[in-house]
Amino acid sequence: MTEQSKPGFIQQVKMFVAIGKSLAGSYLGWSLLIALGVGLLIGWFLLGWVIAPVQYTGGKPSNLSEQYQKVHLSYVADSFAAGNTRIDDLAKRLGEGWTKQQVIDRLAGMIKDNYPGSDRLTKLHDALASFPGEIGPSVAPAPTSILGLILLALLVVVAIGLWLARRQSAMKPRPEHRLPPTGVAQVDEYGQVVEEAPLPVMPVSYAAGGARPVEKSDWTGEERPPLSQYKTVYAIGDDRYDMSFSIENESGDFLGECGVGVSETIGSGSPNKVTALEVWLFDKNDIRTLTKVLMSEQCYNDAALRAKLAPKGEAVLVQAGDIVPLLTQTLKINARIDDVVYGDSSKSYFQQMTIQIGAWSLAS
């Protein structure tokens, strides 16, 4: 016996596909969708269909197919004709889900079709027709459907997911109208303020965002090659750019660390527009970490921005080919700017920059 209200397999699949499409528009939605898929695979398919399939019992007479409803009504008629059951008790036992008139009509159809025991069916038919009350139990609370609970839970999950996605979207900073980075407004022939057109976005090197040791080379002004030498590339879009390298002597003893990372950004929107990087050196024999700030041309010429970054370290104007030295008690590094590409004509932020760092020990 199956419940007529139970949706089929195809309907359930379509329902879950529709829910999936509504979630697929955001990262949060994909996370919820993947969790939902794993839960369905384990709980609905594996447990519900393979390991412990659902067994339906206790179906109501009103939910039976027409064939079994006739059999049930025939048994009820036999019991009533034998005088074993009063009509008011029998009416209650017919169960909820259908009306007295629907039962009477079904009995009339069985009588018309000469169903076996038509005389007993007629007696039951007449008794129900004259019975003043309704059939079924006096209090018949509808049992909560498991499928209904599942649908309710899914709707709650979808609602929470959409609310979080919309809240996250609302928290993103809105793009603002900005004058050219020089601070001097450009005007057209009619005196209207215009923004200068951005330069075409340069292609990002495939080495961007990485850092790797390179072959030690001779450095200008240095008498010997470095203990270690690294090459790193920053490219716009790498908002978490932060590279660090260990410094060790020939015996493998740890001497310190050095690295380069984002120091300051400007503007709004995504990706971040980096206007300054910072290169740093940590000496285990020193009590401080030395830092220098590699600034774009606009950042270097902006007195307010330079004052803001002054606590981080000495300001250095980035120029291709320049070497930026950092010297502590027992260590020295040179940061060489191999190339630099700006993201706009005002040179306010970096599109890409390649830096090589060499490290030397000053210990005798």
Query: Could you tell me the pLDDT band of residue 273, with boundaries at 50, 70 and 90?
Result: very high
Report the SS3 class of residue 63: helix
Res 181: pLDDT: 41
Q: Which residues have CB under 8 Å from 33's CB, separation 6+?
A: 20, 23, 24
Mean pLDDT of 268-281: 92
Cα–Cα distance for residue pair 336/231, rounded to 1 Å: 9
What angle (nearest 5°) sits at the alpha carbon of residue 255, between those of residues 253 and 258?
A: 130
The per-residue pLDDT for 169 is: 59
Residue 259 tokens, joined: 């690295």
Does residue 277 come out as left (phi exceeding 0), alpha (psi in the -120 to 50 range) or beta? Answer: beta
- pLDDT interval class at 125 (50, 70, 90): confident
- Supply 309's token pair: 């970054």
Query: Residues 6 or more apart from 82 whose CB is under 8 A from it?
Result: none
- Pure H helices in the chain: 9-23, 27-39, 66-81, 87-93, 100-112, 118-130, 146-171, 297-301, 303-309
The helix-helix angle for 118-130 and 66-81 (nearest 10°) equals 80
Lowest mean pLDDT among 130-134, 175-179, 210-214, 290-294: 175-179
- Band (364; pLDDT cuts 50, 70, 90): low
Q: Alpha helix (H) ranges present in 55-145?
A: 66-81, 87-93, 100-112, 118-130
Residue 204 pLDDT more than 50?
no
CA distances for 43 relative to 2, 30, 57, 197, 250, angstroms: 21, 19, 21, 56, 58
Q: Is the dihedral of CA 173, 178, 180, 182 positive or negative?
A: negative
Question: What is the sign, positive or negative, of the torsion defined by CA atoms of 299, 305, 308, 310?
Answer: positive
DSSP-derived pairing of the beta strands 186-187 and 193-194 = antiparallel
Per-residue pLDDT, averaged over 118-134, amounts to 77
3-state SS assignment for residue 260? strand
DSSP letter (8 states) at residue 83? T
Contact indicator for 165, 32 with CB cutoff of 8 Å = no
| Res. 302: pLDDT tops 80 | yes
309 pLDDT more than 90: yes
Angle at 347 between CA 172 and CA 207, to 5 degrees: 75
Residues contacting 173, CB < 8 A, separation 6+:
268, 269
Residue 98 amino acid letter: W
Q: Which residue has the higher pLDDT, 144 or 118?
A: 118
* Least confident range of 18-32, 100-114, 163-177, 211-225: 163-177
3-class secondary structure, 158: helix
Residue-wise pLDDT tens digits, 312-324: 999 999 999 999 9
Token pair for residue 97? Answer: 């889900």
Residue 20: what pLDDT? 59
Going by C-beta distance under 8 Å and a sequence separation of 6 or more, which residues neighbour residue 131?
87, 88, 91, 100
- pLDDT at residue 143 is higher than 70: no
pLDDT at 166: 67
| pLDDT number for residue 21 | 61
Tokens 């009533």 correspond to what residue? 80
105 against 233, higher pLDDT? 233
- The dihedrals phi and psi of 250, each to the nearest 5 degrees, come to -60, -25
Task: Output the pTM of the full model.
Answer: 0.45
Backbone angles phi, psi at 234, to 5 degrees: -95, 140
Per-residue confidence (pLDDT) for residue 198, from 0 to 100: 47
Phi and psi of 308, rounded to 5°? -65, -40
